[in-house]
Structure 1
């Protein structure tokens, strides 16, 4: 910390603070990126190695090594949705807004400079050599700053691509993509969520089988009732997001928690099931980077591309007639007739449940009234369905009582995002009344 005053003096001359954004979800990081691009004269976004100030999402479990590495060499802004205070850092509560973020950056820089000057005064004999070294390092950062900013912009991708771009990218990736097993439980290969909101819950994976005649279905092994694997942070984020709770009585905040099912893959899946049952024929959803079809006779979905691609597809808004339904009487469980080298088979309720969670990502289907009481008409089988934090508790409560989503949040004292994701998925399965 003895070199902070040199960094700040150089910053005053250059008038640009180099920032690194660490641990945030893509949507938040993209929003911050756009915000700081509007203030390029004062702030620049670079990697953590080249940054003057680090902005860190403290709820992300992967940021701990970065904090340990840089806590004594950079000002750090600790962003949190909790009431925790982080000693030595400038603490900033979610949700973020531009004015508070800029104020926190300035405060972090000033506090760090003050601490650095005090440290310098107590180590007079070492200031000269440390300061000279820091100055040289900073000069190197000046030389590489613009390149780092360009690299950052190149590497920062936006998952809200147009659907045509999504399909093109997926088709290119498909050459090397493999079907990800998604149904067996691993107790030691999955990172745990290091937050108070995270329950140790089951990680599930889809069945995959080579295209052969016949296609053999694999059944998930039953685990002991008291053995549960832990969901990774990434899986929880994909299903529930990490947005903070909002005031549902404020119209501007309330709008943030809803999404339209129209023009989503989830909506097409439900239409495929309805048409397949009505026409008694297999139905394919065309326009995707591979074949995805509903086999009405077996109540299963079949697809020949990696399930990893379903996650961004679930968040994509498709244009008019970009995805269509096509009857496929040639598709059969024992004669798939697919072009891919491998196919995956998954029960229709498992597929709908997963797609609804990924589409919701902590939001609520606009067709659902969060103040309207609901009750589950049938139990949910979490031996098969993808489990999210608090899923069994929410299911038990809604199975015994008729409650609104907001009442469930209040009774269980959990984040809205878990209840909204659960309710959207259960609503998609049609198990609410």
Structure 2
């Protein structure tokens, strides 16, 4: 539940066990963004404390003079003034309910002040702000809430009349020439009871009961300019170079400096251990890798500038650390990625996008640019993010082996687009070096008619014969 101002509740974390802190951080990165925002103690509206953590009760007693309400976590019921008790083990439903209950404990002074601040004068016309519908996903089982009228807006007289009074009838205007009264229309159903056979029958969307049906990265509709900007992020802007001096002229990148390398190492570790693994960021965001399900949950919007900057900027020490979820944490994590399909992706699609953003149309520094390559398998183009000429590049490389420069020359397209495809496909394990074991043969031209008449005619015309 959001504040009346549209902002989440500001909270500060006091004494909390590492286990429950991890659960809360996971919650804050998903549905918690709509409920809570972690701030400093001075700016917080409410506090969260784990009463099962050593020294927590003493810390709370030291803060008895504060008027800020608190959320108390404990396996046993705790009844303290100005607090809400949340039993352990923590669940998303309990945290959501606590967010709603804590609202009633907040001081009313801030709300009254907010009303005064937003109340317009009688002479100033008020424009009702346009509220954008909340299209964000609702993890942790949160449903879509109907918008409620704001208590902070003072509608003018005209607006209130519009809401409460009927419009004046046309009788106030001079009467028009007499016309036959229109009979009241019968109350017919809005849709015809007989189907028009000339129109196609709309198909009813099947209900999706499987949480594993995750598709491609949900890219928002973009105009041409926005699409071009996105492709510049994925494929870069590097100009073509002469293959003869490409070693010194072209730009390269080192994966070890970027988030890509951390994701690949975490994925390898998770596969070896046969479990899920989390990448936790200092911003309370996270990426949860589930190799056994071929899924990845990411609290970032993959199309956002924030995620692009995270991927294409060298990663700083301490910004992210790996965490293997415990058995007690797994049910909450499972509940999250089941409920939040918008942020749960096929593992192939998230690796593809992270690689494109990191490489930015450049080749890995270790790639031999003189090596000929072949495409073993096509990437799943219904899942991975689109880049220019992706189908043509895949078809050309599967048809015959060639270097990155060969493919760009064959298709007459910018080299950076071939570099981007090659780097992303290599991370997915789709590229293989051509070892010359399979000789490629150009399509043979149709055999000419070498009959007797043809040979004689060619000899008569001076073309020789054999």
Calculate the TM-score normalised by the size of structure 2. 0.43
TM-score by length of 1: 0.46
Rg: which structure is higher? 2
Greater share of residues in helix: 1
